Amino acid sequence: MPLGRGNVEGQGRFASFNAGVLDHWEVKNMIRSELLQQLHNDNPELRAEEIEQVVDIFFDEITQRLAEGGRVELRGFGAFSTREREARTGRNPRTGESVEVPAKRVPYFKAGKEIRQRLNGS
């Protein structure tokens, strides 16, 4: 079944992805190599190198866009963005002494409506 193609009534743009791929993944936690293997199992017509290249491009593009201060929205899935954290005074857990923590940007993900509904069984 092709990824992200087709539409099942009431399930939105990623219906075939949701219905055809995610439903049979029973893994609670997944690392990158397991993701690549599952995608290869679901798409035997693609070489493992092609799948790895697509996954690399996907994550690299999201990372690059966030590094530029942008936002990446995947309709029905969610949106990746960054949030600013102000400088603060923290504590060294080992010694208890005060440590200055500089301001920084951190990645943020907000789940989309479709994924929230799936997670909550709606």
Q: How far apart are CA 121 and CA 85, in angstroms?
A: 34
Residues 15-72 have pLDDT tens digits of 444 444 455 555 589 999 999 999 999 999 999 999 999 999 999 999 999 999 999 9
Query: Count of domains in the chain?
Result: 1
Range of the domain at 74: 69-122
- Is the pLDDT assigned to residue 73 strictly greater than 80? yes
Indicate the helix (H) or strand (E) that contains 64: helix 48-67
User: Is residue 91 included in any domain, yes or no?
Assistant: yes
Please give the span between the terminal C-alpha atoms of the chain, in angstroms, as a whole number.
Answer: 24
What region does 69 belong to: left with phi over 0, alpha with psi -120 to 50, or beta?
A: left
Instruction: Report the share of the chain in percent with pLDDT over 90.
Output: 72
pLDDT digits (tens, 9 = 90+) for 83-95: 999 999 999 999 9
Q: Report pTM.
A: 0.66
Residue 40 lies in a domain: no
The CATH number assigned to the domain holding 114 equals 4.10.520.10
Residue 5 is predicted with a pLDDT of 34
